[in-house]
């Protein structure tokens, strides 16, 4: 009887330790998922993933009693945490605001960017580009795709507008006698966010036929993946589309509309900000439930289905 009682207590302690460890891992995964959801810009996600790798390395070195390595990694983790808090001020502020308001459900829901609508915004942009190309008026439009662009990627942020997209407004902005015509115009969803933006130029060797607007479109799409640029040449009126540092030119107005429809159509599947984490969470949840059922001697979900 005493041996059975001792063995039962030992098994209970192991089960509690396993449950606590599983809960600890689950909470860390949930916190990581919330951070990846809030920070929805892909270039920044690599920085977050690097920080997570440092944390895991620090935890492993602590388990293996590698004292010097653990000391160095802990200092690196603290330094990276401070650097990320400075670099991602707006994202962390939104996270703390939602946490303070008790909006826990929104923390696990990706913020969806209102993309240009098929029948309205894209048509307005295409009509404006058509007229600008016809009149040989230079233009540079930045269209956000999967998330907002950090203004620190611009050389000069420009002038805030926050106006509805319309072909008349776009044409007016790029008229040669206006103050904002030399810079780029940023479009986020159905809004013109800012104009007169100065962009970094591409360092690639480009054709002599390409002007400053084309090099600026290549430069910003090299640095930021979640945007494309539409360029209208002032000299020839030709239309170009820049994406990930590559310039597709010259385009007809029909080809431009097809390209924008392909990228912004609601039917197109978009890669989420935290790819694979949701499915990973479901798998972990099912395994945890199966483990708890086994420890408590309850029938598993599969056996319940078989009985039904």
pLDDT for res 304: 45
pLDDT for res 240: 92
pLDDT for res 270: 42
Q: Give start and end residues of each alpha helix (H) in 228-276.
A: 253-264
Is residue 241 within 8 A of residue 143, CB to CB? The reply is no
pLDDT for res 82: 84
Query: For the chain, what is the largest distance between any 2 Cα atoms, rounded to a whole number of angstroms?
Result: 96
pLDDT for res 201: 86
pLDDT for res 119: 61
pLDDT for res 303: 46
Range(s) of the chain covered by CATH 3.40.1700.10: 118-264
In the chain, which residues have pLDDT < 70?
A: 1-12, 14, 32-45, 87-88, 90-91, 95, 98, 103-119, 205-209, 265-308
Q: Spell out the CATH class of 118-264.
A: alpha beta
Is residue 211 within 8 A of residue 235, CB to CB? The reply is yes
Helix 42-63 / helix 67-87 crossing angle, nearest 10 deg: 160
N-term to C-term CA, the chain = 39
pLDDT for res 86: 75
């Amino acid at each position: 009887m005493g041996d059975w009682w001792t063995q039962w207590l030992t098994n209970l302690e192991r089960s509690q330790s396993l449950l606590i460890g599983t809960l600890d891992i689950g909470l860390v995964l949930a916190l990581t998922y919330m951070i990846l959801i809030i920070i929805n810009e892909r270039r920044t996600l690599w920085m977050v993933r690097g920080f997570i790798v440092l944390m895991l390395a620090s935890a492993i070195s602590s388990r293996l009693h590698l004292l010097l390595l653990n000391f160095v990694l802990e200092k690196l983790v603290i330094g990276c945490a401070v650097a990320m808090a400075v670099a991602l001020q707006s994202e962390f502020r939104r996270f703390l605001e939602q946490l303070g308001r008790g909006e826990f459900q929104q923390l696990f829901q990706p913020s969806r960017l209102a993309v240009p609508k098929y029948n309205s915004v894209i048509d307005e942009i295409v009509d404006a580009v058509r007229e600008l190309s016809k009149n040989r008026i230079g233009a540079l439009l930045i269209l956000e795709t999967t998330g907002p662009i950090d203004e620190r990627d611009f050389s000069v942020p420009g002038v805030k507008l926050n106006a509805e997209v319309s072909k008349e407004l776009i044409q007016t902005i790029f008229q040669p006698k206006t103050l904002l015509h030399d810079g780029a115009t940023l479009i986020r969803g159905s809004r013109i966010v800012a104009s007169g933006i100065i962009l970094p130029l591409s360092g690639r060797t480009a054709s002599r036929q390409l002007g400053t607007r084309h090099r600026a479109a290549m430069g910003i799409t090299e640095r930021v993946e979640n945007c494309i640029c539409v360029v209208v040449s002032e000299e020839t009126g030709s239309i170009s589309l820049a994406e990930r540092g590559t310039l597709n030119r010259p385009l007809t107005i029909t080809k431009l509309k097809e390209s924008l429809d392909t990228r912004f159509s609601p039917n197109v599947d978009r890669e989420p900000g935290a790819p694979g984490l949701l499915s990973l969470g479901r798998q972990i949840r099912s395994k945890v439930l199966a483990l708890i059922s086994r420890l408590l001697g309850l029938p598993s979900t599969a056996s319940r289905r078989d009985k039904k």
